[in-house]
Structure 1
Amino acid sequence: MQKVLSKISDDMDSKNINRTQLVKRIDIDGATLSRFLKGKHQLVFNKYGVILKEVYPDDVNARRSFCRKYSSVLKRQGNKKIAVYYLLAHGELDTVAELLNETIIKHDWEKVCRLIYLRYKGDLSGDELLKVYKEKVEGIKSKNAEFEILKGIVLLHIRYDQKNYKSMIRLSEELHEKVEELEDNYAKEFLKFKIQEATIYGLLTCNEIPRLRSVCHEIINDESSDMLFPIFKATAYGVLGESYIFTDYHKSLGYLNAAASIITNGPGNQMMKRKNMILNTIDFLKIHWKVDLDNINPKDEVEKAYLEIQKGNCEKAISILEDVSKNKGKLSAFGLTYLGIAKGNDPQILSDALDLFERSSDIFYSYLAKKNLGIMSQKCYNLGG
C-alpha cells in the first residue's frame, strides 16, 4: 500500500495539485494528509476517494485499482463500512464482493450490506431476496439506527420487486425520518440517497410524476452526487428520462443517455444489468416514437412485436405474440396491449391488458392500454412535460 501512497503523493506534485485547497475540500488538516501519504494514518474511505478523483479525474482504472488496494488494508470496521457505501455508490461491485465475501463476513452490517450488493448485482430479488433476508438478517436485534435503516432499504427493494409500491413509499418516508437522526455525515448522505434511489422506481410505477421528478432533480443537482454518489445520479437520470417517455422524446432520450454514460464511464460491465435496463428503455422510447426503427433490434420478443407494429407489420406482430403466448402460456400486460393494438385496437384485449396493469399496480405504463382504448389523454394522466 505504501507504494500506492507514494505514487499518489508524487502524482499530486507532478500535476501541481494544491494540497492546501485539497485538505480544505475534504475537511482535514495538512498534517493529517501528510501522515496518511506516509502510511502513518488511515483516512476515512470517502475522503480517500475524493483525493483519487482530484489526482486521477480521467483515469477510472487507476482509481479502481487504488480503491481495491486501500480497501484490503483497512483496520477499522467503521471505515470498512464507509468503503462499502462508497463502492456501492460508484457501482464498484467487484471490490464490494471482495469486502463482503460470504466466507469471511461476521458483522451484522456486513450481512445486510451483502444483500444490497446481491440485489445490485442482479443475483437476488423478490421472493428469493425475502427468503434470504428472513434467514440471515430479519431476526437480528439491534439498537443501532443505521443497521435498522439498512434492513429497511432491503425491504424497500423487496416491496418493489413484489409490486407493493404504496407500502414501499410509506416505508421510505419512515426511513427518511430515521436517517435524519444519524450523526455521520457521509453515512447519512449515502443512506438518504440510497432510499431515494430505491423509492423513485415506485413513484414512477404509481405515476406520482411531479414528486418523482422533484426527487430526481434533488439527487442530480446535489453538489456531492458527482463526486460521491454517481450511481444514484445515474438512477435519477434514468428514471427521470423514463418519466418523459410518453410526452417528450428528446428530453427523455437526453436523460436516458446521461444515465447510460455515467455507467459506461464508471463501473462499466460491473453494472451491466442496470445499463441494459437503460438501453432497453431507450429502444422502447424509439419504438414508441417511431425513430430509427430499422436500427433497433430488441432482445425481448414482446418488444419485437411492438417494433413490427410501429413498422406497420401487424400480422407479423400477431404471429410473434401468439408464439410467445404458446411458449409461456400467457401474455404479459405489455404483450396483451400490443396484441390489442395489432388487432385494430381490439377493446376486449386492451381491457384485459389494462386489468393486468392495474392488478400489478403499474399505473404509469397502463397509459399504453388506456390511450389505445381512448379513455385517457396525456393531460389528465398526469404526464405533463
Structure 2
Amino acid sequence: MVRPAVRTVTYTRWLHLFIGAVAAPVVGLIYPGLDGSGGGNWLLPLVPLPLVAVAACVPGMRVAETMQAQLLLFPRPRTPHRRPDLGIAGSPSASWGDRWRVFIWLTVRLWLGFGVTVVTINGVVLMLGLLTPSLWPPFGSPLPLLGPWSWWYPLLAPVTGVTLIALTWGAGALMAGLAPRLLGPSPAERFAELEERTERLQERTRLARELHDTIGHALTIAVVQAGAARAAGTPEFTDRALAAIEDTGREALSELDRVLRLLREDANPTEQRLTLAHAGRLVESARGAGADVTAETDGDVDALPGPVSHEGYRMLQESLTNALRHAGPVPVTVRIEVRDGRLELEVRNKLPAESRDFRDGGSGLRGLRERAVLLGGVAEYGPHEGEWRVRVTLPLR
C-alpha cells in the first residue's frame, strides 16, 4: 500500500497523463470557454479530438509519443548495454493501421489524463480543507455531506491521499500496459525486424566460421610443423618447417585482414575469396606438416558457383585441419568430384586410436554440417572401414 507513494514512477506517470490532458483546457479557452459555470466542461475532452486525429496522421507523432513514454512511463535506470525491450516502436508510423493506433493512444491519454487531473486538483483541495480550518469549507460554504469543519476531519485526509495515490498508480499502470499495444511495432514491422536480425546473426555466424577455419588451420599447421622440426633436429627440416609456418601465417593474416574489413563494412564481401581452385594451397600446407596427402580432382572446379566453391574450400580446410590436429601426419586421401550438377568432396585419413573430440565431432565439424545444410547439401563424418571419413555433397544450383 505504501510502495506506490514512494516510487518515482508513480509521479512521472502522473506527469505523463497531465501533459496529455493539457490540450483539453487549452482548446477549451476558445470553445466552449472556461467561464467557471461548469455547463460546458463536459465538452473539454471531446473538442480537441479533431486536432488529435490530425496529429495522429503525422508519422513522426509515434516517435514523439514513444520518447515521452520511455521517459515518463518507464523511468528505470537503463544502460546502453542492458536496456530492456519495452516493446515500443521507435520509428515513424508506416501505415494507416499505425496511425489509427496512435490516435487511440492519444485519445486515451487525453481522456484519462483529463479525468486524473480533475480528480487530483479537487482531491488536493479537499485534503487541505480537511487539514486546515481556515480553508474549510472551500469558497466559504459548508460541504453538503460533512457540514461545518470538525476536529475529526483531519483523520479523513490520509484516506483522500491514499485514494489519489491509488488512482494515479492505476491510471499510470494502465497507460504503461497500453503502450506496447498502441505504440508497439505492427506485425509487418516485427517481421521485417526479425528478418534483419536473422540476417545479422547469419552474417556473424559466417564470419565466426571464417575466423575459426583460417586461424585454426594456421595454428594447427604451425604446431605440427614446430613439433616435427623439434623431433627431427636437422637444420634442413627446420628450415622447411619454418618456411611452411611463415607461408601459412601470411595466408592466415591475409584472411584475417579480409574478415576484419568485412566487419568494418569497407570491402566487397566477394573479393579475394578462396575457392576450390586454390585447394592446392591446402594440400601443400598439409604435406609440409608431414601428412602424406593424395589429392584427386575430377571435373571443372573453376566453373563452380562462387558460394559452393568457397564453402567447399572451407570444408576441405576444416577436414585437413582436423586430420592433422587429431591424427597427426598420417596418410590422407582427398577426392574432389564435379558431376551431374553436384559437388562431392571426400577426405579420408587413418582413424586415431584415442581422440574423443575427433570421434564425437567438435564445433568445426558441426559448422561443416551447417555450411552444407545452408547450401542445400549434406555432410557426413565418422568412422568408415577403419578410417575417418568426411563426405560432403553440394548441389550446384
TM-score band by shorter chain is under 0.3
**Whose radius of gyration is greater, 1 or 2?**
2
TM-score normalised by length of structure 1: 0.22
TM-score normalised by length of structure 2: 0.21
Answer 1 or 2: which has greater helix percent: 1
Answer 1 or 2: which has greater strand percent: 2
